[in-house]
Homo-oligomer: A and B are copies of this chain.
């Protein structure tokens, strides 16, 4: 892939100018500067505002041209009417990439100004993210150059979003749900850099394990490029896309929203299948899968074992496995006998393996260890209903321990967990998530996550 090295200036700038920095809390030009400072960006930050001497303790400049040092990237939030002059200044200063927050371009019919914006930037060799965006985050470099929530949690998921409002809102949601991100990229009008190029860049980013994209539509004529590009990206790491506007009515709404031609959904659907993109139906599903794919290895096959302490949960997971095309392994005799050791006589060593409500954390530990150990098992889903004899946090710690031991022995298999219960169960799930085991509040979501891993693993296997 020919990724523009200029994109490095977007994700890993050594210095940033905030053009349109403001002294007034609540203003976009203030919030971006504050996020940059408080999230801990280590490079140089230069606020630019002709009216101010100092903002948030930083010396302020009248123009980027007055800054004595080199600048890699500029975040621009000034009125659209005066943007061309500022872009020229940036070009003359030798800035490499522009993050154009400003709106009032093609999204409101002002196509001409947008074209001029790109042309001007390109004439200086600059690349543009935006316009009409909320900014960019790259957590490995402690850079939060957005006016969204500040305390983005670090992790392996990159999130690319064509919708601004949704993107900002989801940033907050990832913090609440403790979903760790490597990057957040607001795409806006995609006047220059588009989602394909960003995905290509992140495919080679060692800090990104999974790429998630909220997409409403590509520019006309981009279909083939999308397929060719994604084929390469998905061989490097999983890509999950929510492509909204699935219905005709939804597509019409999307067209009036971003101005992009949503196109026939069937075409997108076929295209995504063809290039190994996992298509999620909604954002919950997208991040459910992403959390699993960011932490779990590829699956060697489709043979799954479900281990539960509640028959009902096991039945629901079994239904979900059939729905999602996950194969429930009929455990071989030796494995069955092993499972039998960790359950009372009225348990079930068939799959779902029912340890019964009498299961204590150590029984789970042993059963899951057996599943890790046995070569016939490719993936594992653990279900837990809150019982008095099995403390959820203790169970979480046991599961983390079993997995660690297996990995130390060179055995790594995808595992997902579902835990049903109250506050203490919620805390145990958080603990699992923080320690590399994706946990969900209902069995179906845990199985769906495993299904996504299997689907992606099989695609990669076929492609190699």
- Pick the most buried of A169, A175, A318, A387: most chain B CB atoms within 10 A of its CB: A169
Q: Which of B256, B310, B319 contacts A245 (CB 8 A)?
A: B319
**Which one of A67-75, A78-86, A230-238, A422-430 is at the B interface?**
A422-430
A176 touches B423 (CB 8 A): yes
Query: Which partner residue on chain B sits nearest A328 by CB separation?
Result: B249
B357 touching A314, Cβ below 8 Å: no
Q: Mark A16-36, 1 if CB is under 8 A from B, else 0.
A: 000000000010000100000
B165 and A321 form a contact (CB under 8 A): no
Of the candidates A170, A311, A346, A386, the one having the most CB atoms from chain B within 10 angstroms of its own CB is A311
* B interface footprint on A182-211 (CB within 8 Å = 1, 0 otherwise): 000000000000000000000000000000
Q: How many copies does the complex hold?
A: 2
Tell me whether A456 is interfacial, beta carbon within 8 Å: no
Of the 9-residue stretches A90-98, A122-130, A348-356, which lies at the interface with chain B? A348-356
B-contact bits for A381-401, CB 8 A (1 contact / 0 none):
000111110000000000000
Give complex CA distance A354, B176 in Å: 26
Cβ of A48 under 8 Å from chain B: no
Does A172 reach chain B (CB closer than 8 Å)? yes
Contact A310 B169 (CB under 8 A): yes
Closest to A254 in B: B315
CA distance A167 to B257 in the complex (A): 44
Q: Does A50 contact B (CB under 8 A)?
A: no
Bound form: Cα–Cα A283–B357 in Å = 19
Closest partner residue, chain B, to A314 (CB atom): B253
Query: In whole angstroms, how far apart are the Cα atoms of A100 and B206 in the complex?
Result: 59
* Chain B residues, Cβ within 8 Å of A387: 165, 168-169
Given A319-B245, A322-B250, A352-B253, the answer on whether A313 and B166 have CB atoms closer than 8 Å is yes
Task: Find the B residue at minimum CB distance from A344.
Answer: B108
Are the C-beta atoms of B385 and A282 separated by less than 8 Å?
no
Select one of B245, B310, B318, B421 contacting A163, CB under 8 A. Answer: B310
Contacts A108-B346, A165-B385 given; indicate if A257 touches B312 (C-beta within 8 A).
Answer: yes
Q: Is A258 an interface residue (CB 8 A)?
A: yes
- On chain A, the number of residues with a Cβ less than 8 Å from chain B's Cβ atoms is 76
Q: Nearest Cβ distance between residue A305 and chain B, in whole angstroms?
A: 13
Task: Tell me if B172 and A421 are in contact (CB < 8 A).
Answer: yes
Complex contacts, A284 vs chain B, CB 8 Å: 441-442, 444
A257 partner residues in chain B, CB cutoff 8 A: 311-312, 314-315, 348, 354
Tell yes or no: A244 within 8 A of B by CB. Answer: yes
* Residue in A245, A319, A352 with the greatest tally of chain B CB atoms within 10 Å: A319
Q: A258 contacts which chain B residues (CB < 8 A)?
A: 311
Chain B proximity of A313: nearest CB distance (Å):
6
Contact across chains for B253 and A173 when beta carbons are under 8 A apart? no
Task: Tell me if A309 is interfacial: C-beta within 8 Å of chain B.
Answer: yes
Q: How far is the CB of A413 from chain B (nearest CB, A)?
A: 21
Shortest Cβ-Cβ A-B pairs, 6 listed: A163-B312, A172-B422, A257-B311, A165-B310, A247-B322, A166-B312
Extra pairs beyond A108-B346, A250-B316 (11, CB < 8 Å)? A31-B388, A107-B346, A163-B311, A163-B312, A168-B385, A173-B441, A176-B425, A247-B322, A249-B321, A254-B311, A282-B320
6 residue pairs bridging A and B, Cβ less than 8 Å apart: A165-B312, A165-B387, A169-B313, A173-B420, A173-B425, A258-B311
